[in-house]
Structure 1
Amino acid sequence: MSNSALIIGAGPAGLMAAERLLAQGAQVQIFDAKPSIGRKFLMAGKSGLNLTKNEPLAIFQNQYYGASAQLAPMLNDFGPADVMRWANALGADVFSGSSGRVFPKAMKASPLLRAWLVRLQDAGAELRVKSRWKTLSKDGCFGFETPSGPAQITPDVAVLALGGGSWKKLGSDGQWVDILAQHGVL
């Protein structure tokens, strides 16, 4: 396992990546452009926070239609039962509604997110907000604008959990597209 890991984006994908990397012994830094993290996750929590669906894995996988085969290895690694165990381990008891959808009993995201952050920070994750990714050099150095000025980081591994531009005030504004395009990624 690489020793240092940079995660850009502190939504659920970035936080889950941090959790997995920390479990492998990586030193994890999480950067997010917004002043607080998990903003879209918290917004989803306003309507109850549907975490998964309580059904057999084979049925669950088939809900992804054309992508079922591609997603199967990931869903086998972390399927609906794993999501429920994960939430319970964070102190968020869950229940299944009449449709099989799984929700935290609290019917909101904030307690789950707070517990998740505590677990990540207790495991050694460093979280930096108001830190916008601006550059990437050919040697893998990531440049950020931070409240204390420019920062440069060259990690052993990087995870780009950048989100989409669907709701700019809550999450990504898509500015990362230009950086990746400059490197021929897009």
Structure 2
Amino acid sequence: MTKYNTLLKAKLQELLEARGLPIEGTKEVLIERLEESDKVAAELDEDDDVKEDVSEAVTTEPTELTEPTETKEEPKEEPTEATLETRVLELLNTKLKRAIKFNEEELIKRLNSEILRINKFGVSAESAIVHELNGTKPKYTNKVVKRRTPKGFRGRNSKKGHNKRRY
């Protein structure tokens, strides 16, 4: 086939790799492999066509259209405090093992104190560690929001005369 002769060797190798054939050899060898693969694929397609023709001839009864069944998604159950606590402790223990592995002493101290606090007081559903575990964001943040005043941003023109042009 001449369509393979116009392609570069790299493109031929990609085609061979996609078909699961070896990619070593010269360009001519690669073209031969692709042509053989095409012949085999054509023979398989002919066999499939014959089988499909036979199966179509056998089924002459009209088929009824079936409506897709609706799958009801089960609502996720709210995790109880006990399950939340065990999941959070598992997460903290895995973090602690990693910190020990990489010898991060400050992180080890912080994680140990968090584990002790959770063992003593439990865990809240709105705590940051639960949001980290669930992959959600907390509802409220302490982020400072810059607000515009009629004269511009606050504090921009606090120094008198600093933005005047001087000639």
| Structure of greater relative contact order (alpha carbons < 8 Å, 6+ residues apart) | 1
| TM-score, length of structure 1 as denominator length | 0.19
Pick the structure with greater CA Rg. Answer: 2
